[in-house]
Structure 1
C-alpha cells in the first residue's frame, strides 16, 4: 500500500513540478563550510535525518552517480538513468566533521542491502557515498574498514568521486517537514527518526 501511494505521489510531482538546474560537484569549501553527498535509500529519509544534526547548515535532495543529463524524478525511479537518490549536506567542520557525518550515515540506513532500503527497491535506492575531494576519499576508506567490522553482512555501499549533482524537484525538498502526515512519512520516516533520536543522535532542541 505504501509503495502504491508513493508511486501516485511521484506521478503528481512530475506533473506539477519542474526540475532544478544541474549543479556540478563542488570540491571546494565555501565560507569555511564543507559538503558531503550520501545516498541511503529514499532521499526523503536521508534528508530528514541530516537536517536534525548539529553543525549541518543545509540539506538538499537530488540525484548523482548516473549517466543521463538533467534527470527527472520519474526518470530516476524508472532505474534507467543510473542515478541514486542522494542528499547533499552542507556542514560546519568547526562543529561536526566529515568523519562524524560518516558515522551517522552508517547508523541511518542499512548499507548491506543491495539496491534497496526496506520496501523501497531499485538501483536508485542504493547505498552510496560520493566524495568531493581526496581528503574525503581517505576518510571514506577508513570509515568503510571500521564499518565492515560492525556489520555482519558485506557492505554494498557504492563509493566514488562526485561528478555531477542534480537538484531534485522542489516538491522533494524538506519533504518530511512539509508532509508529516502522509503515510510514507508516518510509517517509514517518523519511526526511523524516533529510533535515531533515542540513540541521542539529534540536537536536544529538535
Structure 2
C-alpha cells in the first residue's frame, strides 16, 4: 500500500473523484499544511490556520502509479487558480501536492512541467509542491460526504 496527499479545493468533491479510480483503496479527508495542532473544520474554514482541505489516498501501487494519481489530481480541479476553486475562496482551498518522499516531490514537479507544456490550461499552474506534515482527519460527517448526501453539494464532481 502506498499513500498520496493532495489539496484541490472542496475536499468532498476531490474525495468523490478519487474514490472512483481503480487502485484507490481508501480515502480520508482532512487538514494539512498549516500551523495549528489538531485543527477542526470551524477553525480551518476561517483561512487563518494555514491548513488546506486535503485528501489522503491509500492506493495499490501495483494497480495505479503515483504519476497516474497526479494526472488525476490535475484533471479534477483548476490548478491555475490561486486560493480558489469555484465558489470556495481562501488559502484553505489552494492547490497543493503534499509529497511524502523525494520521489513524490520529483514526480510532482515534473508533472507540473509536463502539464504546463501540454497547454491544457490557459494560465500557468500555481499548484504548490510541499512536504507533507501531519495529516489531521476531518470530522466524521465530512468523510464520504457526497456518498451520504448527494453530489449536488459540491461543484467539481
For residues 64-83 of structure 1, the aligned pairs below 5 Å read 64-83=32-51
Equivalent of 1:174 in 124, 136, 144: 144
What do you get for the CA RMSD once the two structures are aligned? Answer: 1.1
Which residue matches 1:5? none
Which residue matches 1:129? 97
- Greater percentage in helix: 1
Secondary structure of the corresponding residue to residue 110 of structure 2: helix
Secondary structure of the corresponding residue to residue 164 of structure 1: coil
2:126 paired with 1:160: no
Secondary structure of the corresponding residue to residue 17 of structure 2: helix
For residues 39-188 of structure 1, the aligned pairs below 5 Å read 39-149=7-117, 150=119, 151-180=121-150, 185-186=151-152, 188=154
Show structure 1 runs of 4+ deviating over 6 A.
Answer: none
Structure 1 length as normaliser, TM-score?
A: 0.73
Structure 2 spans left out of the alignment, 5+ residues: none
Per-residue deviation, 1:148: 1.2
Which moved further from structure 2: 143-152 or 105-114? 143-152
Structure 1 spans left out of the alignment, 5+ residues: 1-32, 194-206
Aligned residues: 155
Structure showing greater Rg: 1
